[in-house]
Amino acid sequence: MGAGQVKEELGRGGNGVVYRIASPNPTWGDFVALKEVMTRGMKPKHFEQVAKECDILSNVSHPNVVRNFYNYLKKDKLCILMELCDGDLAKELKFLQTRPDLIFSEKFLWKALAQIADAIAYLHSNALIHRDMKPGNILIGQDGLLKVSDFGWSRFIDEDSFAVTLGGTPLYNSPEILSNRPYTQKADVWGLGCIMYEMASGGTRPFTDPVSICKKAPQSLPSHYSKALRDIIFKMLAKSEATRPDIFQIVEMVEKHMAEKGINRVDESDEDPFDFYVKNPSWKSPAPKRINQILQNKFAGKGSFSHHEDDEEEEEEEYDDEYEEEEVPEDHEDFPEEEEEALYEDEDSCYVHSHSCPSKSAEQLPHAYTY
Protein backbone atom coordinates (compact mmCIF):
# COMPACT_ATOMS: atom_id res chain seq x y z
CA MET A 1 0.00 0.00 0.00
CA GLY A 2 1.44 3.32 -1.02
CA ALA A 3 1.56 6.30 1.31
CA GLY A 4 -1.40 8.65 1.06
CA GLN A 5 -3.77 5.97 -0.16
CA VAL A 6 -7.30 7.45 -0.14
CA LYS A 7 -9.65 5.41 2.04
CA GLU A 8 -13.41 5.68 2.33
CA GLU A 9 -14.82 4.13 5.49
CA LEU A 10 -17.60 1.64 4.83
CA GLY A 11 -18.23 0.15 8.25
CA ARG A 12 -16.74 -0.49 11.64
CA GLY A 13 -17.05 -3.09 14.37
CA GLY A 14 -15.63 -3.87 17.77
CA ASN A 15 -12.15 -4.80 16.53
CA GLY A 16 -11.77 -3.23 13.14
CA VAL A 17 -12.79 -0.98 10.28
CA VAL A 18 -13.54 -1.68 6.62
CA TYR A 19 -12.56 0.82 3.94
CA ARG A 20 -13.05 1.07 0.22
CA ILE A 21 -9.77 1.85 -1.50
CA ALA A 22 -8.48 2.06 -5.03
CA SER A 23 -7.21 -1.34 -6.04
CA PRO A 24 -3.40 -1.68 -5.85
CA ASN A 25 -3.65 -4.46 -8.45
CA PRO A 26 -5.62 -3.89 -11.68
CA THR A 27 -6.50 -7.59 -11.87
CA TRP A 28 -8.54 -7.18 -8.66
CA GLY A 29 -10.82 -4.54 -10.15
CA ASP A 30 -11.03 -0.78 -9.68
CA PHE A 31 -11.74 -0.92 -5.95
CA VAL A 32 -11.23 -3.43 -3.13
CA ALA A 33 -12.20 -3.63 0.52
CA LEU A 34 -9.49 -3.09 3.11
CA LYS A 35 -10.34 -4.69 6.44
CA GLU A 36 -8.10 -3.47 9.28
CA VAL A 37 -8.29 -5.56 12.44
CA MET A 38 -6.70 -4.21 15.63
CA THR A 39 -4.46 -6.90 17.12
CA ARG A 40 -3.32 -5.00 20.24
CA GLY A 41 -5.08 -6.45 23.26
CA MET A 42 -6.85 -9.07 21.18
CA LYS A 43 -7.47 -12.35 22.97
CA PRO A 44 -5.42 -15.24 21.57
CA LYS A 45 -8.58 -17.19 20.69
CA HIS A 46 -9.98 -14.27 18.69
CA PHE A 47 -6.69 -13.69 16.90
CA GLU A 48 -6.60 -17.39 16.04
CA GLN A 49 -10.07 -17.10 14.48
CA VAL A 50 -9.07 -14.09 12.38
CA ALA A 51 -5.82 -15.72 11.28
CA LYS A 52 -7.68 -18.91 10.40
CA GLU A 53 -10.17 -16.96 8.30
CA CYS A 54 -7.30 -15.35 6.38
CA ASP A 55 -5.62 -18.70 5.84
CA ILE A 56 -8.81 -20.37 4.62
CA LEU A 57 -9.81 -17.53 2.30
CA SER A 58 -6.31 -17.36 0.83
CA ASN A 59 -6.63 -20.97 -0.27
CA VAL A 60 -10.15 -21.09 -1.69
CA SER A 61 -11.33 -19.94 -5.10
CA HIS A 62 -14.99 -20.02 -6.07
CA PRO A 63 -17.26 -17.40 -7.70
CA ASN A 64 -19.67 -17.67 -4.75
CA VAL A 65 -17.02 -17.32 -2.02
CA VAL A 66 -15.73 -13.83 -1.21
CA ARG A 67 -12.18 -13.45 -2.49
CA ASN A 68 -9.26 -12.64 -0.21
CA PHE A 69 -6.50 -11.03 -2.27
CA TYR A 70 -3.73 -10.28 0.21
CA ASN A 71 -2.99 -10.13 3.95
CA TYR A 72 -0.27 -8.21 5.76
CA LEU A 73 0.63 -6.87 9.22
CA LYS A 74 1.07 -3.14 9.80
CA LYS A 75 2.05 -2.14 13.33
CA ASP A 76 -0.87 -3.27 15.52
CA LYS A 77 -3.18 -4.01 12.61
CA LEU A 78 -3.89 -7.09 10.54
CA CYS A 79 -4.77 -5.78 7.06
CA ILE A 80 -6.89 -7.90 4.73
CA LEU A 81 -7.52 -6.92 1.12
CA MET A 82 -10.83 -8.43 0.07
CA GLU A 83 -13.28 -8.41 -2.79
CA LEU A 84 -15.52 -5.34 -2.54
CA CYS A 85 -19.21 -6.21 -2.10
CA ASP A 86 -22.28 -3.98 -2.03
CA GLY A 87 -24.31 -5.47 0.82
CA ASP A 88 -25.60 -8.70 2.27
CA LEU A 89 -28.81 -10.71 2.57
CA ALA A 90 -29.42 -9.51 6.13
CA LYS A 91 -29.80 -5.94 4.89
CA GLU A 92 -32.05 -7.06 2.04
CA LEU A 93 -34.27 -8.86 4.57
CA LYS A 94 -34.48 -5.74 6.73
CA PHE A 95 -35.52 -3.76 3.68
CA LEU A 96 -38.14 -6.37 2.80
CA GLN A 97 -39.66 -6.11 6.28
CA THR A 98 -40.39 -2.43 5.60
CA ARG A 99 -42.10 -3.28 2.32
CA PRO A 100 -44.86 -5.88 2.81
CA ASP A 101 -45.99 -5.19 -0.77
CA LEU A 102 -42.81 -6.87 -2.05
CA ILE A 103 -41.38 -10.38 -1.92
CA PHE A 104 -38.30 -12.06 -3.32
CA SER A 105 -39.14 -13.51 -6.71
CA GLU A 106 -39.22 -17.30 -6.90
CA LYS A 107 -36.65 -17.15 -9.68
CA PHE A 108 -34.25 -15.22 -7.45
CA LEU A 109 -34.78 -17.68 -4.56
CA TRP A 110 -33.82 -20.61 -6.78
CA LYS A 111 -30.77 -18.72 -8.06
CA ALA A 112 -29.78 -17.79 -4.51
CA LEU A 113 -30.22 -21.37 -3.32
CA ALA A 114 -28.15 -22.68 -6.24
CA GLN A 115 -25.31 -20.20 -5.71
CA ILE A 116 -25.03 -20.65 -1.94
CA ALA A 117 -25.38 -24.43 -2.19
CA ASP A 118 -22.62 -24.50 -4.82
CA ALA A 119 -20.33 -22.55 -2.50
CA ILE A 120 -21.04 -24.88 0.43
CA ALA A 121 -20.53 -27.95 -1.78
CA TYR A 122 -17.17 -26.52 -2.81
CA LEU A 123 -16.17 -26.02 0.82
CA HIS A 124 -17.37 -29.48 1.84
CA SER A 125 -15.52 -31.12 -1.04
CA ASN A 126 -12.37 -29.43 0.32
CA ALA A 127 -12.99 -30.86 3.81
CA LEU A 128 -14.25 -27.55 5.23
CA ILE A 129 -17.30 -26.87 7.39
CA HIS A 130 -18.41 -23.23 7.64
CA ARG A 131 -20.41 -23.44 10.92
CA ASP A 132 -21.87 -19.91 10.74
CA MET A 133 -24.30 -19.86 7.84
CA LYS A 134 -26.64 -16.87 8.24
CA PRO A 135 -27.95 -14.01 6.05
CA GLY A 136 -25.31 -11.54 7.30
CA ASN A 137 -22.56 -13.84 6.03
CA ILE A 138 -23.94 -13.98 2.49
CA LEU A 139 -22.56 -10.93 0.70
CA ILE A 140 -23.83 -9.48 -2.57
CA GLY A 141 -21.01 -9.01 -5.03
CA GLN A 142 -20.74 -6.14 -7.49
CA ASP A 143 -21.46 -8.70 -10.20
CA GLY A 144 -24.80 -9.54 -8.55
CA LEU A 145 -23.60 -12.95 -7.35
CA LEU A 146 -24.02 -14.10 -3.75
CA LYS A 147 -20.78 -14.77 -1.86
CA VAL A 148 -20.26 -16.80 1.30
CA SER A 149 -18.06 -14.91 3.77
CA ASP A 150 -16.77 -14.92 7.36
CA PHE A 151 -14.78 -18.09 7.95
CA GLY A 152 -13.85 -17.33 11.55
CA TRP A 153 -15.76 -20.38 12.83
CA SER A 154 -14.73 -22.68 9.99
CA ARG A 155 -12.61 -25.77 10.45
CA PHE A 156 -11.36 -28.68 8.42
CA ILE A 157 -13.51 -31.79 8.65
CA ASP A 158 -14.31 -34.45 6.08
CA GLU A 159 -17.81 -35.79 5.41
CA ASP A 160 -17.30 -38.90 7.56
CA SER A 161 -15.96 -37.03 10.59
CA PHE A 162 -17.67 -35.29 13.48
CA ALA A 163 -17.12 -31.95 15.19
CA VAL A 164 -18.01 -31.22 18.79
CA THR A 165 -17.18 -27.54 19.40
CA LEU A 166 -20.08 -25.17 19.99
CA GLY A 167 -19.81 -22.13 17.74
CA GLY A 168 -21.56 -19.89 15.26
CA THR A 169 -24.80 -17.96 15.78
CA PRO A 170 -27.31 -19.71 18.10
CA LEU A 171 -30.51 -19.02 16.12
CA TYR A 172 -28.92 -20.56 13.01
CA ASN A 173 -27.28 -23.49 14.79
CA SER A 174 -28.62 -26.96 14.07
CA PRO A 175 -30.37 -29.07 16.74
CA GLU A 176 -27.36 -31.37 17.07
CA ILE A 177 -25.03 -28.44 17.81
CA LEU A 178 -27.38 -26.94 20.39
CA SER A 179 -27.84 -30.37 21.99
CA ASN A 180 -24.06 -30.72 22.39
CA ARG A 181 -24.01 -33.77 20.12
CA PRO A 182 -21.26 -34.50 17.62
CA TYR A 183 -22.20 -33.05 14.24
CA THR A 184 -21.13 -33.24 10.61
CA GLN A 185 -21.05 -30.96 7.58
CA LYS A 186 -24.85 -31.27 7.46
CA ALA A 187 -24.92 -28.50 10.06
CA ASP A 188 -24.22 -26.12 7.14
CA VAL A 189 -27.24 -27.54 5.28
CA TRP A 190 -29.39 -26.62 8.29
CA GLY A 191 -27.99 -23.08 8.22
CA LEU A 192 -28.78 -22.81 4.51
CA GLY A 193 -32.32 -23.99 5.24
CA CYS A 194 -32.69 -21.21 7.83
CA ILE A 195 -31.47 -18.61 5.32
CA MET A 196 -33.85 -19.78 2.59
CA TYR A 197 -36.80 -19.97 5.01
CA GLU A 198 -36.14 -16.41 6.15
CA MET A 199 -35.99 -15.21 2.55
CA ALA A 200 -39.19 -17.02 1.54
CA SER A 201 -41.07 -15.82 4.64
CA GLY A 202 -40.26 -12.17 4.05
CA GLY A 203 -37.82 -11.84 6.91
CA THR A 204 -39.30 -14.14 9.56
CA ARG A 205 -36.84 -16.62 11.06
CA PRO A 206 -37.96 -20.26 11.25
CA PHE A 207 -37.14 -20.35 14.96
CA THR A 208 -37.00 -17.63 17.60
CA ASP A 209 -35.04 -19.40 20.35
CA PRO A 210 -32.81 -22.46 20.86
CA VAL A 211 -35.63 -24.48 22.48
CA SER A 212 -37.87 -24.14 19.42
CA ILE A 213 -34.99 -25.23 17.19
CA CYS A 214 -34.82 -28.54 19.01
CA LYS A 215 -38.51 -29.11 19.79
CA LYS A 216 -40.79 -27.14 17.47
CA ALA A 217 -41.73 -27.18 13.82
CA PRO A 218 -41.55 -23.95 11.79
CA GLN A 219 -44.71 -22.43 10.37
CA SER A 220 -45.60 -23.20 6.78
CA LEU A 221 -44.31 -20.92 4.03
CA PRO A 222 -46.49 -18.74 1.77
CA SER A 223 -48.32 -20.70 -0.91
CA HIS A 224 -47.34 -18.22 -3.63
CA TYR A 225 -44.03 -20.07 -3.72
CA SER A 226 -43.95 -23.44 -5.46
CA LYS A 227 -44.32 -26.69 -3.54
CA ALA A 228 -40.91 -27.75 -4.88
CA LEU A 229 -39.21 -24.75 -3.26
CA ARG A 230 -41.06 -25.13 0.04
CA ASP A 231 -40.31 -28.86 0.15
CA ILE A 232 -36.58 -28.47 -0.36
CA ILE A 233 -36.40 -25.80 2.36
CA PHE A 234 -38.13 -28.07 4.88
CA LYS A 235 -35.89 -30.99 3.89
CA MET A 236 -32.89 -28.86 4.87
CA LEU A 237 -34.60 -28.13 8.20
CA ALA A 238 -35.04 -31.78 9.12
CA LYS A 239 -34.16 -31.97 12.82
CA SER A 240 -32.52 -35.38 12.46
CA GLU A 241 -29.17 -35.44 10.69
CA ALA A 242 -30.01 -38.90 9.41
CA THR A 243 -32.98 -37.61 7.39
CA ARG A 244 -31.45 -34.28 6.40
CA PRO A 245 -29.89 -34.35 2.90
CA ASP A 246 -26.22 -33.49 2.47
CA ILE A 247 -25.24 -30.48 0.38
CA PHE A 248 -24.48 -32.56 -2.70
CA GLN A 249 -28.01 -33.98 -2.68
CA ILE A 250 -29.35 -30.45 -2.34
CA VAL A 251 -27.29 -29.29 -5.33
CA GLU A 252 -28.61 -32.22 -7.38
CA MET A 253 -32.24 -31.45 -6.49
CA VAL A 254 -31.81 -27.75 -7.25
CA GLU A 255 -30.09 -28.35 -10.58
CA LYS A 256 -32.80 -30.78 -11.65
CA HIS A 257 -35.61 -28.33 -10.86
CA MET A 258 -33.86 -25.36 -12.47
CA ALA A 259 -33.20 -27.36 -15.63
CA GLU A 260 -36.86 -28.36 -15.83
CA LYS A 261 -38.02 -24.76 -15.35
CA GLY A 262 -35.37 -23.17 -17.55
CA ILE A 263 -33.87 -21.10 -14.70
CA ASN A 264 -30.23 -20.10 -15.18
CA ARG A 265 -27.92 -19.82 -12.21
CA VAL A 266 -26.53 -16.62 -13.71
CA ASP A 267 -28.48 -14.56 -16.25
CA GLU A 268 -26.50 -13.64 -19.34
CA SER A 269 -29.17 -11.20 -20.52
CA ASP A 270 -29.47 -7.47 -20.02
CA GLU A 271 -31.61 -7.97 -16.91
CA ASP A 272 -30.62 -6.09 -13.76
CA PRO A 273 -28.78 -8.65 -11.57
CA PHE A 274 -29.93 -6.71 -8.49
CA ASP A 275 -33.64 -6.89 -9.36
CA PHE A 276 -34.62 -9.27 -6.57
CA TYR A 277 -38.22 -8.30 -5.93
CA VAL A 278 -41.73 -8.73 -7.32
CA LYS A 279 -45.12 -7.61 -6.06
CA ASN A 280 -46.48 -9.62 -3.13
CA PRO A 281 -49.69 -11.31 -4.41
CA SER A 282 -50.98 -11.67 -0.84
CA TRP A 283 -50.57 -8.02 0.10
CA LYS A 284 -53.50 -5.64 0.23
CA SER A 285 -53.18 -1.96 1.00
CA PRO A 286 -54.60 -1.10 4.42
CA ALA A 287 -55.55 2.39 3.19
CA PRO A 288 -59.22 1.68 2.26
CA LYS A 289 -59.84 0.01 5.61
CA ARG A 290 -58.22 2.95 7.39
CA ILE A 291 -60.31 5.49 5.46
CA ASN A 292 -63.52 3.57 6.15
CA GLN A 293 -62.74 3.55 9.87
CA ILE A 294 -62.14 7.30 9.88
CA LEU A 295 -65.43 7.87 8.03
CA GLN A 296 -67.32 5.69 10.50
CA ASN A 297 -65.83 7.56 13.43
CA LYS A 298 -66.61 10.90 11.82
CA PHE A 299 -70.27 10.23 11.18
CA ALA A 300 -70.71 8.51 14.54
CA GLY A 301 -69.37 11.65 16.22
CA LYS A 302 -66.37 9.75 17.59
CA GLY A 303 -63.64 11.73 15.92
CA SER A 304 -62.60 14.03 13.13
CA PHE A 305 -60.49 13.92 10.03
CA SER A 306 -57.22 14.30 11.83
CA HIS A 307 -53.68 13.18 11.11
CA HIS A 308 -53.27 12.45 14.82
CA GLU A 309 -55.48 9.37 15.05
CA ASP A 310 -54.11 6.72 17.39
CA ASP A 311 -52.88 3.70 15.49
CA GLU A 312 -52.16 0.36 16.95
CA GLU A 313 -48.64 -0.70 16.23
CA GLU A 314 -47.73 -4.26 15.82
CA GLU A 315 -45.22 -5.25 18.45
CA GLU A 316 -42.25 -7.29 17.40
CA GLU A 317 -41.96 -10.53 19.28
CA GLU A 318 -38.80 -10.55 21.34
CA TYR A 319 -36.67 -13.46 22.34
CA ASP A 320 -37.35 -14.30 25.99
CA ASP A 321 -37.22 -17.29 28.29
CA GLU A 322 -40.88 -18.23 28.01
CA TYR A 323 -41.44 -20.95 25.47
CA GLU A 324 -44.60 -22.73 24.45
CA GLU A 325 -44.58 -26.47 24.76
CA GLU A 326 -45.46 -28.08 21.48
CA GLU A 327 -45.08 -31.54 20.07
CA VAL A 328 -43.05 -31.71 16.90
CA PRO A 329 -43.90 -34.22 14.18
CA GLU A 330 -40.95 -36.30 13.03
CA ASP A 331 -41.32 -35.23 9.41
CA HIS A 332 -42.72 -32.00 8.07
CA GLU A 333 -45.83 -32.40 5.97
CA ASP A 334 -48.36 -29.60 6.20
CA PHE A 335 -48.33 -27.05 8.94
CA PRO A 336 -51.15 -24.54 9.44
CA GLU A 337 -50.57 -21.23 7.79
CA GLU A 338 -50.53 -18.03 9.83
CA GLU A 339 -51.15 -14.70 8.20
CA GLU A 340 -49.59 -11.68 9.80
CA GLU A 341 -50.93 -8.24 8.95
CA ALA A 342 -48.19 -5.71 8.40
CA LEU A 343 -48.48 -1.97 7.88
CA TYR A 344 -47.12 -0.57 4.65
CA GLU A 345 -44.73 2.27 5.22
CA ASP A 346 -43.06 4.04 2.32
CA GLU A 347 -42.91 7.53 3.81
CA ASP A 348 -39.59 9.20 3.05
CA SER A 349 -38.33 5.91 1.61
CA CYS A 350 -35.61 5.97 -1.00
CA TYR A 351 -37.03 2.73 -2.44
CA VAL A 352 -40.53 3.98 -3.32
CA HIS A 353 -39.81 4.15 -7.03
CA SER A 354 -37.60 1.08 -7.30
CA HIS A 355 -37.94 -2.60 -6.64
CA SER A 356 -34.25 -3.23 -7.12
CA CYS A 357 -31.63 -4.02 -4.55
CA PRO A 358 -31.61 -1.29 -1.89
CA SER A 359 -27.84 -1.36 -1.90
CA LYS A 360 -28.04 0.03 -5.43
CA SER A 361 -30.84 2.47 -4.71
CA ALA A 362 -29.79 4.12 -1.48
CA GLU A 363 -27.43 7.05 -1.46
CA GLN A 364 -25.30 5.43 1.23
CA LEU A 365 -24.16 1.94 0.37
CA PRO A 366 -24.92 -0.68 3.01
CA HIS A 367 -22.11 -3.07 3.77
CA ALA A 368 -21.82 -6.45 5.34
CA TYR A 369 -18.26 -7.12 6.34
CA THR A 370 -17.82 -8.79 9.72
CA TYR A 371 -15.15 -8.05 12.28
Distances (CA, A) of 329 to 214, 239, 297: 12, 10, 47
C-alpha–C-alpha distance, residues 116 and 88, integer Å: 13
Distances (CA, A) of 335 to 194, 222, 258: 17, 11, 26
Q: Indicate if 132 belongs to the active site.
A: yes
Q: Which of 140, 165, 139 is CA-nearest to residue 154?
A: 165
The answer for residues whose C-beta is within 8 angstroms of residue 12's C-beta and 6 or more apart is 18, 371
Pairwise CA distance, residues 223 & 149, whole Å: 31
Q: Kindly write down the DSSP assignment for every residue of 242-274, as one continuous string.
A: TTSPPHHHHHHHHHHHHHHHT--SS--SSS-TT
Residue 365: phi, psi to the nearest 5?
-70, 130
Helices (H) and strands (E) in the chain, counts: 10, 12
Radius of gyration of the chain (CA): 22
Catalytic residue among 88, 132, 150, 246: 132
Active site residues per annotation: 132
